Structure 1
Amino acid sequence: MHHNANDFPLLDHVSSGVLAIDLAGNIVLWNKTLEQWYGENRESMLGKSIYDCFPLLKQEEIRTRINSIFQDQDGSTLTFGPDQLLFPCTLSDGKTRAQQVTVSLLTDHALALFSIEDQSNQYELVKNYKQVAKDLQTELEQKAALESRNARLISAIDQAGEAVVIINHSGDIEYVNKAFYQQTGWNKDEIDSISFYNGLFADRYESFKTHIDGVFTAGETWQGRQEITCKDGSSFTASISIAPITDQHGNVTHSVIIQEDISQQVIVDEKLRHSQKQEALITLVGGIAHDFNNLLAGLVGQAYLAAREVKAMPKTAERLKKIQMISQEASEIVKQLLTFARQGEHESKEFPLDAFIKEFSKLAQHTVPESIKWSFDFNQANYAFRGDANQLQQSLLNIVQNAVEACSDTAEAQISLILKPLQDDEDTFRFIKKYPVLRYGNFAHILIKDNGCGIMAENLSKVFDPFYSTKQLGSGLGLAIVMGCVRHHHGIIDVNSKQDEGTSVHLFLPMKAVKPEQDFSHPQGLTSAKILLVDDDTRVLEPTKELLESMGHDVELACDGQDACEKFESNPDSWDIVITDMVMPRMNGLDSAIRMRSSRPDIPIIFATGYDQSLVIENTRKMKNSVLIGKPFNPDELDQIILKMIKKS
């Protein structure tokens, strides 16, 4: 049956495109809307195969579905969405027309009716809606990410070790983190009631306010150190950095202040400066002592020789002996300087510390006036100790002398000396907490305490400084020498004192788990020796040669290590002993001794020194059949050492 638009006149007035096909697939209806969309009039389209005109319909799945319309007598419909574009049609703007296609069966006419609805506007709205939804989702995600970052930033600031403070132009605090509360002692409820300027800087805030005002006016940053006042009135040193916070127009609205407590760093810096100052002083003292010892060596030698030559003049001989005694006293002072400088010769031997302390107590008691009560107590233990007994005795005497002077104006004054091992008590725990090394070793605890005038708190940190003294005629070397002694023995010293209550000096010395060494007796009788005497200082060389010759020895001189080696190597077996200075030009004493030992390994060597560094001392002690003595030396003792070494070799 042939059909045309006149059979369906209403279809020319609908906005949708409408066409119909018969069972063979030929187009039998084409309304005016389609004419407008495709530019093809009705007459040209009727009778054409829909599959030829719109190739997408040839797809097997789609064609099968269209054919099913004719087979289904119930008048079911098919719908194809905009994504399939079965009837492509271009709009005026070049875009493809979005369409919704519905296929239904006209049962009475045996036709399949296609309704093509233009959904370009709706599709564009949906598309825009999806874009809006996507943009909104992106914005929400960005906002959530920003909030998350801000939360992490706030958490990081709040957990930071440095205090962070935000203030406004008036100095009012608007934000602080936890570190601020910990540093200053203020709590959250009190922050609103204090001004950053007045509350934290007391009478120092004016200078700091100037820096903050500069941040607000010039927008510049500032860094520096400032004393911060805590809630309880105490203060601490802080490293402070101030930076401006600006609004969107670049105007400074607030300042952020980052505040780090550097109290410990200040203490460490001060200790470092003090240590550097002390090391420079040690170097100076060591150099002076070396030169002074050389002068004393020459003076002692000359006085000794002169005394021998004027035996017929008793008064003159007596004066010369006094010169020798005074020179020896000066030598002892230099030894104290070298002890302080950690450059003196140390005779380390092993001995029982308890026996030493018992003997020292007897000695110390003679230096304590009868007006001061002296007490001594010790706990039985294994006190095997290796060290320099003379140096330790001198250090303890210095402490006792300080205690005696502190008790000079004290009624019922008393000084106590106590020796005990480290015990599990409250005092020991306090010292272990302060000096953790005590936990891992076997230490003896020596305590000297008095009930004298005590030490003012501001002076307590200076008591070990060299040449520091509160006494008008004090040398200031007493406790400085004690400190040098304790350090040499790898020990610890601690001083506790309160003004008008007294002072306690604690020494902790490491013990040894070995038996003390036995001393050797001096050789008996006298013999002469062929001696090679080496020194670059003629003030020492000439009088020493004379006094050795006066003792019956045959002496030849060398002006430095190189000269000594040349003379020694000309006939190595002719020498009985070598006495050499340590510090000389061209070749020092240690290097020349090593060279001479290569020619004759058994030659006894005496090293004489005005001062020597610890490394040189250690190297000379490793050399067998050698002795290290300090200048100036006692002539008779030197003679005994020479004979003892020759006999031993």
Structure 2
Amino acid sequence: MNRAQDPDLSAAQMQLLWVGNNEKEFAYLRDVLTRSGEGRLGLDRVRSPEEALQRLNQTTYDLLLCDYKPGDGMALRLLHEIRKDGPGAPVIFLSDHVDQIAVDAAIKAGASDCLQTSNLNESSIARAIRYAIDVYCKERQRQKAEDTVRKLWRAVEQSADLVIITDRGGVIEYVNPAFEALTGYSREESVGRTPRILKSDQQTANLYQELWETILAGNVFRGVLVNRKKNGQIFYAEKTITPLRDTDGAITHFISNDRDITERRRLESQLQQAQKMDAIGRLAGGVAHDFNNLLMVISAYAELMLDSLGSEHPLRRNVQEIMTASRRAADLTRQLLAFGRKQMQSLQLLDLHRVIREINEMLPRLIGEDIQLIFAPGKNVGKVKADPVQIEQIVMNLAANARDAMPNGGKLTIETADAHLDESYIQRHSIVPPGEYVLLAVTDTGEGIAPEHVAHIFEPFYTTKAEGKGTGLGLATVYGIVKQNGGFIWVYSEPGLGTTFKIYLPCAQYEPEQKRPLKLVEEMLPGTETLLLVEDESAVRQSEREFLTLNGYSVLDARDGRDAISIAREYDGTIDMMITDVIMPHMSGAKLAEQLLLERPGMKVLFVSGYAETTVLR
């Protein structure tokens, strides 16, 4: 019924509708409008309120002029219909006989004016039309403004972000429901106080100074603040503070829009921690592999020296100390390789209950008599594909860690269960793929881990124990083994209450045993055969060559796969076995074996590698 834009007499054309069946009144009104000089006014006509309603459903009019007789129910009903869905177009009643009672009744019903036809002239009709449209426009603007305010109010009240409005001095005048829900402070508790009620003491004074200098200068402040809820919990808020000005441009209020990014920060921290651990793992694995090669040379030559010395030789004890130190260094290297997920594996379909029960007898001796050991196996727990020795290593390391956390005794609980990790779990642990897992949980009632240490406990050589009490590789080894087996580990700890390590290993499906075209040699051949030794590290190759030669073997040595193929083709005799590294430049050990076995099908192959993921058994 209404125009899209508010009517304006200065517009090029305005359309009016006359409602009445009196021909003389219509003609008179048309003449008056013409003489008024308002030539921009167009006038249509309908004979009854019913026709008017039909016309209004088809055409938009800026103003209605309606023939009215006091007590005319039809005219009043037309007015009601126009007004029921909003202000509608303004309506002016025209009547032959108008008294104050009739005027009051018409105005009360919603008419803009009620004029007596006999008193109409050019000036009065123009004035009445202008006044009616002016009132109508203002009413429309007021309603639009109120509607806008209502929408803004609802938007602020229903916003998921925290909204705080303060005066220029920082005193809170308004907080929205999201503020109440997150911080725990009600509107009544907040109004009249300052946002300092959320202060966490984890921000520097410089940040607050920068904040105030920015907003008092009339600029928008953007930053991340660490706040504290009413219950003491910390939350991170991405804050935007905007100054509000009055009509003179003076700052009167500040409006703060805060977005809770605690969960986002936690997920980002998880991802960064995972990336850091992966980088450290790659570094540790690479260093351990290179260090392992050096240890191999040291231990091999030490063993050769020991064999060459008599039982009473004065240097024999020195060489034995070298070999002992080499073995200890090798143990550290194996732990680093485990952390770097480069430890050799013998994968099997495992029942965790059986593995844990097998080591249950030795655990009490490890943890001591003052610690109660409880094993709570779950029902119908699935199997995992893993190396049983590595699973034992996980349990032993966690048990040793728990023992050190309970110097005065306590309780160590080992639990297993099936676990379905769904979308809700993934939302809290973003790096975990959904699916079926087997849960291994190890819980102690010890001293717990301080929050500042939790993020670092899986890093190699990181320890909170006293000097000489540990290498800092126990938990790093556990982390590496879990990751190597496609699993995930989470730690839950509170100082004074104890610690729980939860390990999730992927549930394994039954896989029929597959034939392997290449088999590892199970026994060492007698020392009369010819061996092809392939190793790209010259020091390692030389020590291995000497060791094998001293044991009676004829050794052909090659620095890489290409060299090995060339030597094998030039050698006319039988090569009984090839001993080859797996990772080498130009050609892998597996590829080399595949090619040479075509030419020498009777040759046996022994693969040697420090990289678990590159073994030919995978």
| TM-score, L = length of structure 2 | 0.69
2:163 aligns to what SS in structure 1? strand
TM-aligned CA distance change 1:591 to 1:126, over 3 Å: farther
* Distance in 2 between residues matched to 1:359 and 1:414, nearest whole Å: 23
Equivalent positions of 1:156-195 (< 5 A) are 156-195=155-194
TM-aligned CA distance change 1:570 to 1:148, over 3 Å: farther
Match of 1:8 in 2: none
Q: 1:465 is matched with which residue: 448, 459, 471?
A: 459
Question: 2:195 aligned with 1:196, yes or no?
Answer: yes
Amino acid at match of 1:609: S
Deviation at 1:533, TM superposition (A): 1.6
2:461–2:472 Cα contact (<8 Å) kept: yes
Deviation at 1:218, TM superposition (A): 2.1
Question: 2:478 aligned with 1:482, yes or no?
Answer: yes
Deviation at 1:567, TM superposition (A): 3.1
| Count of paired positions | 510
* Distance in 1 between residues matched to 2:520 and 2:565, nearest whole Å: 31
TM-aligned CA distance change 1:270 to 1:432, over 3 Å: closer
Equivalent positions of 1:192-271 (< 5 A) are 192-197=191-196, 199-201=197-199, 210-211=209-210, 213-215=212-214, 217-271=216-270
Amino acid at match of 1:306: M
* Distance in 1 between residues matched to 2:297 and 2:131, nearest whole Å: 104
Amino acid at match of 1:470: T
Structure 1 stretch displaced more, 576-585 or 377-386: 377-386
* Distance in 1 between residues matched to 2:546 and 2:379, nearest whole Å: 52
* Distance in 2 between residues matched to 1:442 and 1:607, nearest whole Å: 33
Q: 1:81 is matched with which residue: 15, 27, 32?
A: 27
Segments of 5+ residues of structure 2 without an aligned counterpart are 1-22, 43-117
Deviations 1:242-286 (A, max 9, x none): 112122222222221111222223333333443343333223212
1:578–1:605 Cα contact (<8 Å) kept: yes
Deviation at 1:478, TM superposition (A): 1.0
Runs of 4+ off more than 6 Å: 77-80, 93-96, 202-206, 430-439, 515-521
2:239 aligns to what SS in structure 1? strand
Amino acid at match of 1:404: R
Question: 2:347 aligned with 1:348, yes or no?
Answer: yes
Equivalent positions of 1:291-310 (< 5 A) are 291-310=290-309
* Distance in 2 between residues matched to 1:579 and 1:438, nearest whole Å: 39
Match of 2:82 in 1: none
Deviation at 1:611, TM superposition (A): 4.0
Match of 2:56 in 1: none
Match of 2:145 in 1: 146
Deviation at 1:329, TM superposition (A): 3.1
Amino acid at match of 1:467: F
1:621 aligns to what SS in structure 2? coil
1:237–1:262 Cα contact (<8 Å) kept: yes
TM-aligned CA distance change 1:404 to 1:431, over 3 Å: farther
Match of 1:548 in 2: 548
Match of 1:538 in 2: 538
TM-aligned CA distance change 1:596 to 1:572, over 3 Å: farther
Amino acid at match of 2:265: V
Match of 2:436 in 1: 441
1:349–1:517 Cα contact (<8 Å) kept: no
Equivalent positions of 1:2-151 (< 5 A) are 81=27, 122-123=121-122, 125-151=124-150
Deviation at 1:371, TM superposition (A): 5.7
Deviations 1:220-239 (A, max 9, x none): 11111223343345443222
Deviation at 1:172, TM superposition (A): 1.9
| TM-score, L = length of structure 1 | 0.66
**Residue identity (%):** 27
Match of 2:395 in 1: 396
* Distance in 1 between residues matched to 2:39 and 2:402, nearest whole Å: 107
* Distance in 1 between residues matched to 2:425 and 2:208, nearest whole Å: 44
Structure 1 stretch displaced more, 310-319 or 226-235: 310-319
Deviations 1:460-518 (A, max 9, x none): 45433332212222221111211222232334445455555554545454554649989
Deviation at 1:405, TM superposition (A): 2.9
Larger Rg: 1
1:357 aligns to what SS in structure 2? helix
* Distance in 2 between residues matched to 1:536 and 1:207, nearest whole Å: 58
* Distance in 2 between residues matched to 1:233 and 1:419, nearest whole Å: 32
Equivalent positions of 1:277-426 (< 5 A) are 277-310=276-309, 320=319, 323-369=322-368, 384-408=383-407, 410=408, 413=409, 416=412, 418=414, 420-422=416-418
Deviation at 1:158, TM superposition (A): 1.6
1:384–1:516 Cα contact (<8 Å) kept: no
TM-aligned CA distance change 1:498 to 1:215, over 3 Å: closer
Structure 1 stretch displaced more, 366-375 or 353-362: 366-375
1:375–1:415 Cα contact (<8 Å) kept: yes
Match of 1:274 in 2: 273
Coordinate RMSD, CA, aligned: 4.5
Deviation at 1:306, TM superposition (A): 3.0
Deviations 1:603-635 (A, max 9, x none): 6443333446x3x34xx324xxxxxxxxxxxxx
1:530–1:575 Cα contact (<8 Å) kept: yes
Amino acid at match of 2:539: R
* Distance in 2 between residues matched to 1:416 and 1:606, nearest whole Å: 43
Deviations 1:91-133 (A, max 9, x none): 9x9989x9xxxxxxxxxxxxxxxxxxxx998246434533443
Deviation at 1:419, TM superposition (A): 5.1
Equivalent positions of 1:551-590 (< 5 A) are 551-568=551-568, 574-590=574-590
TM-aligned CA distance change 1:345 to 1:520, over 3 Å: closer
1:469 aligns to what SS in structure 2? coil
* Distance in 2 between residues matched to 1:241 and 1:90, nearest whole Å: 61
1:181–1:187 Cα contact (<8 Å) kept: yes
* Distance in 1 between residues matched to 2:200 and 2:389, nearest whole Å: 55
* Distance in 2 between residues matched to 1:601 and 1:157, nearest whole Å: 79
Deviations 1:421-448 (A, max 9, x none): 4599xxxxx999988989953625454x
* Distance in 1 between residues matched to 2:476 and 2:263, nearest whole Å: 25
TM-aligned CA distance change 1:536 to 1:215, over 3 Å: closer
1:350–1:517 Cα contact (<8 Å) kept: no
* Distance in 1 between residues matched to 2:367 and 2:39, nearest whole Å: 116
Amino acid at match of 1:483: Y
Deviations 1:53-106 (A, max 9, x none): xxxxxxxxxxxxxxxxxxxxxxxx978815887xxx999x9989x9xxxxxxxx
* Distance in 2 between residues matched to 1:404 and 1:95, nearest whole Å: 100
1:395–1:485 Cα contact (<8 Å) kept: yes
Deviation at 1:588, TM superposition (A): 4.5
Deviation at 1:546, TM superposition (A): 2.0
1:395–1:482 Cα contact (<8 Å) kept: yes
1:350–1:384 Cα contact (<8 Å) kept: yes
1:579–1:607 Cα contact (<8 Å) kept: yes
* Distance in 2 between residues matched to 1:586 and 1:578, nearest whole Å: 18
Segments of 5+ residues of structure 1 without an aligned counterpart are 1-76, 99-118, 425-429, 623-649
Deviations 1:167-186 (A, max 9, x none): 11222222222212222222
TM-aligned CA distance change 1:190 to 1:459, over 3 Å: same
TM-aligned CA distance change 1:500 to 1:308, over 3 Å: same
